[in-house]
Amino acid sequence: MKCIINRRAQFSASHRYWLPELTDAENAKQFGLCARAPGHGHNYVLYVTMEGELDEYGMVLNLSDVKSVIKREVIGQLDFSHLNDVWEEFRQTLPTTENIARVLWRRLAPFLPITNIQLFEHPQLWADYQGNDMEAYLTISTHFSAAHRLAHPKLSYEENCEIYGKCARPHGHGHNYHLEVTIKGEIDPRTGMIADLGAFQKAVQDQVVEPFDHTFLNKDISYFAEVVPTAENIAVHIRDLLRNPIKEIGATLHKVKLIESPNNSAEVYCTEAEASLLQAVKAEPALAKI
């Protein structure tokens, strides 16, 4: 019987986004404050995901052995270090979150049956790497506050109350929405980036946070005039709003997760098949009935 286990570890380290082939002005333009000397630091949190068969003792791996490997190969070498200098991989490719995750996979894979490396640079930024050459995933999280009412426009108040309960009350209610947006792409062999982080954050801010924040979604966002703004429908709409802006910064939108409350969340993925269907629907309105 196969089972997936996770091991958490953490280390503190500094890094700097700076390339010697660029001038100081060029580095500052490309990397912003991250180019400042001598660098800046983070408390990194690492999750190592492993898969294997359960043994007669009820374990995939002895966690003491896993802890020792991670300490020997990663934590003992990176904790309280300047990442640009500690490993040759970070002199070839800058130690961005996504590239650190890739290099950690390479360091640990000879010893552990890894299926995913997840590295948090801070609670609002993390990367996942799954062993696919230079492909990685980068996630940012943000939030907005908005009100909504769950009521289908073609149903009576009584019918809506039967379906949506208190959420159908006429004056609506509000949430502090937590939004996670994940992109995927190829890590640049020099900058270490899937895409420019500032451009990624700006796309989410401009397309979602700014227009959605402090609104009554049913009234202020035209899409929800006829579409019930459930968490699921909001996530789908955010996905469709971000698909092209993310493509323009050189990455692919992978997933949108919307957390409406601690008890309720929705996530949707972005696939090429969905993108093709979306374009077909826009080009031929009759297909919208499918």
**270 part of the active site:** no
Judge residue 272's burial from the number of C-beta atoms within 10 Å of its C-beta, 0-12 exposed, 13-18 middle, 19 or more buried: exposed
**89 part of the active site:** no
Catalytic residue among 89, 152, 161, 167: 167
Catalytic residue among 26, 122, 214, 226: 214
**167 part of the active site:** yes
Catalytic residue among 98, 121, 180, 260: 260
What is the end-to-end Cα distance of the chain in Å, rounded?
A: 41
Q: How far apart are CA 182 and CA 166, in angstroms?
A: 32
Catalytically active residues are 167, 214, 260
